[in-house]
Amino acid sequence: MHDETLAIHGSYTPDSTRAVAVPIYQTVAHEFTDADHAGAIMDLETPGFHYNRINNPTVDVLEQRLTALEGGVGAMAVSSGSAAVSMSVLNLLSAGDNLVSVPQLYGATYTYFAHVLPRLGVEVRFAADDRPDSIAARIDERTKAVFCETVGNPAGNVIDLTAVAEVAHARGVPVIADNTVATPFMLKPFRHGADVVIHSLTKFIGGHGTTLGGIIIDGGTFPWADHPDRFKLMVEPEPAFHGVRYAIDFADTAYVTRCRTIGLRNTGASLSPFNAFLLLQGLETLAVRLPRHEANTRAVASFLASDPRVSSVSFLGFADNPYHELGRRYLGDRVPSIMTFTVHGGRDAGIAVFNQVKLFKRLLNMGDAKSLITHPASTTHRQLTPDDLKLAGITPDMVRLSVGLEHPDDLIEDLDQALAVAAAG
């Protein structure tokens, strides 16, 4: 099936009730038929539901649907995008290991890498920039993964994913790619060498600013067993789960199986069935929302680029954008609906625009049906030092827009009046 069809019908067949909407299985647990059945499920010998901290039928449909859209082998949904980031890397890391990351990251991800993981004994090595050779220079024998965002938020940079995967794989290291901004309708990272894909489902997939969620999707291609010294967590018997050797006993789905049985089972960052239901509703309309997002963003970006009160516009759809060609290579003729701009007058003028909008909502989210605005240096990336901000591609005067589904003329009128107030001092 095509993506548009998978997003609506994938991985669900109505049961005896013939309900065409995926039911909300609002239950804590599922009954075993007998002791043998219980043991088989607990030992992963047979698939099944037992305790909803670990799996749930409603959540399972969401997981299977996104697995199909991304072209993976299995997925695990969690309570938020940040939980997906955390659990995706902790699935591989132990104290003394390191993670190599691009510096252009969502603020909460940057903070987690820069300040939280080091307290657990994990070193995070930020590359000087997002170029493959800069990433390769940071990899050593203790590196367990390379992390990137396929399209950076809010920097708007596009990763040369094929080249990054090549340098990582040459050193025996997997690539974890956050595909939140692009979504699987614009970019499928597994086709370009990524080994694990994550999403904040809160953003474009949910699409309405109502529901938190995240997901981790396993590409099923990384040869864990070929690197037994580097990936002992995957190869050696797991004492926390019946001595399972994930890379041997679950060769095709080793990563996601360990993520669920160790990460989710023991930390409990579960996605609720009701949230999964709402996210499924959002996913059904993603294919028709994205073109409207894009068209509105092109109109807004063109207005801002022609306005003398605006000093710069960073939009992937413009030919002079430094990532335009990479965008064409990986996204085709599509562009995401996030963009940034700066205003004459610096930081104060940018904050004035942020303060004066009437239709745009001053939020930290993105991918909403509503148009959103934020000033990254004072909100999502407020905790970063000036040097960290520069490394992440964020200037003090940068304003980020997530352009929604309203009429573009209304959005332009709102920005016009806010710019007028900012220009007046």
Cα dihedral sign for 246, 247, 250, 253?
Answer: positive
Q: Answer whether 0.75 is exceeded by the pTM.
A: yes
- pLDDT at res. 391: 73
User: What is d(CA 138, CA 126) in angstroms, rounded to the nearest whole number?
Assistant: 8
Longest dimension (CA), the chain: 75
Q: Provide the residue ranges of all domains of the chain, joining segments of one domain with +.
A: 3-274, 289-423
Question: Which residues of the chain fall short of a pLDDT of 70?
Answer: 380-383
User: What is d(CA 340, CA 385) in angstroms, rounded to the nearest whole number?
Assistant: 20
- pLDDT at res. 15: 83
User: What is d(CA 273, CA 280) in angstroms, rounded to the nearest whole number?
Assistant: 10
- Contact between 207 and 368 (Cβ < 8 Å): yes
Q: What's the CATH superfamily of 289-423?
A: Aspartate Aminotransferase, domain 1 (3.90.1150.10)
- What CATH number should be reported for the domain whose range is 3-274? 3.40.640.10
